[in-house]
Amino acid sequence: MKGRFNWPLWSGLLLSVVAFLSYYGFFSQFPVTRDVPWVPFLLFLIAAALLVAGWRRAPRKTLASIVAVLELVVIGVFVFLVTVFSRDLPRSGRAPAVGQQAHAFALPDTQNRTVALSDLRQGSNGVLLIFYRGYW
Amino acid sequence: MRSIQEKLPEFERLGVKPVAISVDAPAVSAELARKAGYTFPILSDRDAAVIRRYDLLHKGAGEGGGDVSRPAEFLLDRNGVVRWRNLAEDYRVRARVEEMLAEARKLSGAR
């Protein structure tokens, strides 16, 4: 490759990757930046602007096109993950509704001691059950 | 769950016990509790029997295609009756702890 290093093109791609990873690695931990992923979208916007600038200054468009496609794939996958994918949940039509009795259970805790719902209810005003996907 | 831990003294004051449930093995949950500093009970539903019973099974959504629970929260009163629940429509968007605390306050009659 002759000519100057096309920094807008490459920094645009790098920024889009950083934006993607920063959401799952950091911003998804806080409700303010998780529920609406505005930080990565803002960064994607800047990345797209850099991409356009880089594309314009590229003498040969082949490499610039490949970089552009890569960046659009990164952005596209992110949009898919935070819209379609994360909303693909079961219907849970038979989950206990408000006013219904919650199903009894007894499960092992982190020390393998069995804890029953009835134990938790003992001497308390209520129990907050938090079902979660697991620790990956 | 981080926010639950932060507000744990408040839940305790209200007499409401948070308890987390997933398909993870006790050792995995123990590691999570240790790393994140969670002191409320974390229970293991290895074969997802309870998760199935609550109709929360998300088939093949876990690591390596295993079944996991969809995120969901239920606030039960002292008789085990559901007084509030949240079934996330988007697993990224979970109920805010403030909302759960407000419901817990209603339950305990505190303000």
Residue A3: predicted pLDDT: 62
Residue B111 has pLDDT above 60, yes or no: no
Rounded average pLDDT over B83-97: 83
To the nearest whole Å, the CA of A100 is away from the closest chain B CA by 5
Confidence grade of residue A83 (pLDDT, cut at 50, 70, 90): confident
Q: Which residue of A has its CA nearest to B95?
A: A31
Confidence grade of residue A17 (pLDDT, cut at 50, 70, 90): very high
Question: By the CB < 8 Å criterion, does A90 face chain B?
Answer: yes
DSSP letters for chain B: -HHHHHTHHHHHHHTEEEEEEESS-HHHHHHHHHHHT--S-EEE-TT-HHHHHTT-EETT-SGGG--EEPPEEEEEETTSBEEEEEE-SSTTS---HHHHHHHHHHHHT--
Question: By the CB < 8 Å criterion, does A114 face chain B?
Answer: no
Mean pLDDT of chain B: 90
**Which one-letter DSSP state was computed for residue A101?**
B
Rounded average pLDDT over B1-19: 94
pTM of the predicted model as reported, rounded to 2 decimal places? 0.77
A56-65, A119-128, B84-93: least confident range: B84-93
Rounded average pLDDT over B1-20: 94
Residue A35: predicted pLDDT: 81
To the nearest whole Å, the CA of A1 is away from the closest chain B CA by 42
Rounded average pLDDT over A31-49: 90
Sign of CA dihedral B108, B91, B38, B28: positive
Residue A2: predicted pLDDT: 54
Q: What is the ipTM of this complex?
A: 0.93
Instruction: Give the closest of B17, B27, B72 to A131, CB-based.
Output: B72
Q: Give the count of Cβ contacts less than 8 A between chain A and B.
A: 213
Q: Which residue of A has its CA nearest to B71?
A: A132
Q: Which residue of B has its CA nearest to A99?
A: B82
Residue B65 has pLDDT above 50, yes or no: yes
* Alpha-carbon span B47 to A55, nearest angstrom: 53
Rounded average pLDDT over A30-49: 90
Residue B14: predicted pLDDT: 94
Q: Which residues of chain A make contact with B58, given a CB cutoff of 8 A?
A: 89-90, 133
